[in-house]
Structure 1
Amino acid sequence: MASLLYRSAANVVRRSTLISAVRMSSETPKVDPERGKVASDKVSMPDTLGHAVGAERFELLARLAGNEDPFDMNVKSRAKGTVDEPTLIPSLYDSRIVGCICEEDAVSITWMTLHKGEQKRCMCGYYFKLVPLEYKDYGQ
């Protein structure tokens, strides 16, 4: 039963990963940075986008541009996971917490902290490496 549930969830994750990969590969359209902030004859008060600042505004602008996962938080499939070809984990920071489901029927997640510039091996034998996330300007 657990195996069946895991396979169903894995198929959903694969499909959503494929869709977001196709979206990310296309050229991102520019979003007007003044959108929602400036009053016009149609609108007299700023909308949600006009009130948002910082990370929230970045996320809203990215979603308007078609990027549903601007912070790369979605589930990723493991690559080969060898010393020569580790699974690459993108991050805006110098460290990131990563969870690994070591076995197909595992009921727990193995958590580890990855640091910039070094590879880390999970208990199941897969290697992971932190790489810088490509920053896209959405017209903040």
Structure 2
Amino acid sequence: MFLLRSSAALRSAIAPAMRPAANSVAQSSLRAFSSSVRLLEGHGPPIIQGEGSKSGEVPSNLSQATGSERFELLGRMQGVDVWGMQPLDATRVGTIKDPILVESLYPERVIGCTGSPADSHDTVWISLNTDLKHHRCPECGSVYSLNYLAPPEDHGDEHH
């Protein structure tokens, strides 16, 4: 009987805010990631992984690459620039009415302006974001605008 009273006393001494709720993230994070119900139902990002190497063979980059590295390797094999690394349009100076559009899957992207025509001034690094509609190079005056390509559900209120 004494043990029951003391354990009840200990439980009541713990502040309610310190106790995790029944469905809290703290308890759900103890579950193994591989057993997540959402992953088993097909939710979440696709898992991109190679087949690995055969026993006794040295694996190639393609056979052991996973995630974004494998995505990039597969794109290169098909001749596709998956990250869009081509240079920005330097044949003209961007204006407020016709800015140079920079596509991004993130709400912020850093670009390097070398002027128009290309290499007419040293590289000036400009951080484009969704807070401002237009960003101007302080050296040549060219105007850039970020074209945020993320799905609408990823656009938070802070980006509008």
TM-score (normalised: structure 1) = 0.56
Q: What's the counterpart of residue 122 of structure 1?
A: 137
* Structure having greater relative contact order (Cα 8 Å, sep ≥ 6): 1
The reply to whether residue 94 of structure 1 matches residue 107 of structure 2 is yes
How far does residue 49 in structure 1 lie from its aligned partner after superposition? Answer: 1.3
CA distance in 1, matches of 2:60, 2:77: 14
Q: 2:125 aligns with which of 108, 111, 116?
A: 111
Q: What's the counterpart of residue 74 of structure 2?
A: 61
- 1:50-84, CA deviations, whole angstroms, 9 ceiling, x for partnerless residues? 211122111001111211x3212222223551112
- 1:30-56, CA deviations, whole angstroms, 9 ceiling, x for partnerless residues? xxx78x51678xxx6753212111221
- 1:104-137, CA deviations, whole angstroms, 9 ceiling, x for partnerless residues? 56451111100036220112221101113589xx
2:62 partner letter: L
User: Contact conserved, 1:37 with 1:47, CA < 8 A, in 2?
Assistant: no
CA distance in 2, matches of 1:96, 1:128: 11
Runs (5+) with no aligned partner, structure 1: 1-32, 136-140
User: Contact conserved, 1:87 with 1:128, CA < 8 A, in 2?
Assistant: yes
Runs (5+) with no aligned partner, structure 2: 1-47, 152-160
SS in 1 for 2:83: coil
Q: How many residues align?
A: 99
Calculate percent identity across the aligned residue pairs: 35
Q: What's the counterpart of residue 84 of structure 2?
A: 72
2:105 partner letter: L
User: Contact conserved, 2:52 with 2:64, CA < 8 A, in 1?
Assistant: no
Indicate the RMSD between aligned Cα atoms, in angstroms. 3.0
Structure showing greater Rg: 2
